[in-house]
């Protein structure tokens, strides 16, 4: 049964039918490899990586939908600390995942009352900025809400190489964003934490003891019609850097 993914694909297909096949394939492959094998007792981290401006947000939401079909009820999607980007992501989640007919309860940063009162009769996804004040507030909201005490967390970190990593590691300290994301993740009884980016170098170069190195990676291929560097610069695009 895949009511949440089917609902998502139906909405996407109404505006862009060409995307449905790619979204279905990515969601199904990811679910078989990394959701169906999740033990619901561990904190697991993975890397979703793809090309710049290649449709990663749409694929993230498809993966969230298929995770809901497999029993996950609590989701958090964090964006960079940018008001416009956060608003775009929140509206996109509402348009394609939200609604009471086989949809998600999609909440933004100011929806504290709804978070406290609506419960988990349907999957809930919080869309938050990676802002110290926002993350601190919601870490407390989650910790003090008994509904989420025993609920596994599915966390999507968009642009995960931007501010999420510990930028004070060389000072033997922990940066605020890194600390708050870790707190939100670890206070759940179990979790899947997905780092999403087109530039994964800083993530894959983390050492194991940092606790921030992805345990697996999953490639998100670009949608049909994607125009990347090879199109604009030709086969020599890999040799544009000179020293």
Mean pLDDT for the stretch of residues 97-123: 89
Residue 242 within a domain: no
Higher pLDDT, 221 or 191: 191
The model's pLDDT over 27-77, given as tens digits with 9 standing for 90+, comes to 999 999 999 999 999 999 999 998 766 578 999 999 999 999 999 999 999
Mean pLDDT of the region 133-141: 97
pLDDT tens-place string over residues 181-215: 999 999 999 999 999 998 888 898 887 777 789 99
Answer yes or no: is 193 within a domain: yes
Q: Is residue 22 part of a domain?
A: yes
SS3 sequence, 3-20?
HHHHHHHHHHHHHCHHHH
Tokens of 215: 């345990």
Number of compact structural domains in the chain: 1
Residue 10: other Cβ atoms inside 10 A: 12
pLDDT at 231: 47
pLDDT tens for 77-93 read 999 999 999 999 999 99
Kindly state the tokens that stand for 157.
């970190």
pLDDT band at 239 (very low <50, low <70, confident <90, very high): low
Beta strands in the chain (DSSP E): 43-50, 74-79, 105-107, 124-129, 153-158, 191-197, 217-220
Q: Pick the closest to residue 60 from 72, 43, 47, 73 (CA basis).
A: 47
Specify if 177 maps to a domain. Answer: yes
First to last CA, the chain: 55
230 within domain boundaries? no
DSSP code per residue over 63-85: HHHHHHHTT--EEEEEE-S-HHH
pLDDT at 89: 96
Secondary structure of residue 226 in the 3-state scheme: coil
Q: Rounded distance, CA 65 to CA 73, Å? A: 10
Res. 241: pLDDT tops 80: no
In a domain, 217, yes or no: yes
67: domain CATH number is 3.40.50.300
Contact 45, 195 (CB under 8 A): yes
Q: Look at strands 217-220 and 191-197 and give their pairing.
A: unpaired
| Residue 227 pLDDT greater than 80, yes or no | no
pLDDT reported for residue 236: 58
Range of the domain at 124: 3-221
Q: Exposure pattern of 161-186 as b/e (b: 16+ CB <10 Å)?
A: bbbbbbeeeeeeeebbbbbbbbebbe
**What would the two tokens of residue 16 be?**
């862009």
Does residue 60 lie in a domain region? yes
Q: At what angle do helices 3-15 and 83-97 cross, to 10 degrees?
A: 110
Residue 240 has a pLDDT of 43
Q: Does a structural domain hold residue 240?
A: no
CA 16 from centre of chain: 22
Instruction: Determine contact, residues 137/145, Cβ cutoff 8 Å.
Output: no
């Amino acid at each position: 049964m895949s009511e949440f993914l089917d609902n998502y694909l139906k909405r996407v297909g109404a505006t862009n039918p060409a995307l449905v096949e790619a979204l279905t394939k990515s969601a199904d492959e990811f679910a078989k490899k990394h959701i169906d094998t999740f033990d619901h007792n561990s904190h697991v981290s993975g890397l979703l990586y793809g090309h710049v401006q290649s449709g990663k947000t749409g694929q993230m939401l498809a993966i969230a939908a298929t995770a809901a079909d497999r029993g996950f009820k609590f989701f958090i999607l964090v964006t960079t600390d940018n008001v416009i980007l956060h608003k775009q992501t929140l509206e996109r989640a509402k348009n394609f995942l939200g609604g009471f007919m086989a949809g998600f309860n999609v909440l933004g940063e100011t929806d504290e009352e709804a978070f406290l009162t609506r419960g988990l009769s349907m999957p809930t996804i919080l869309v938050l900025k990676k802002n110290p004040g926002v993350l601190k507030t919601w870490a407390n909201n989650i910790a003090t809400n008994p509904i989420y005490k025993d609920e596994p967390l599915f966390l999507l970190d968009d642009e995960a190489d931007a501010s999420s990593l510990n930028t004070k590691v060389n000072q033997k300290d922990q940066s605020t964003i890194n600390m708050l994301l870790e707190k939100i993740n670890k206070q759940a009884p179990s979790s899947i934490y997905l780092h999403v980016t087109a530039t994964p170098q800083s993530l894959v170069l983390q050492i194991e003891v940092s606790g921030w190195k992805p345990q697996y990676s999953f490639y998100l291929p670009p949608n049909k019609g994607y125009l990347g560097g090879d199109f604009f610069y030709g086969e020599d695009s890999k040799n544009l850097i000179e020293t």
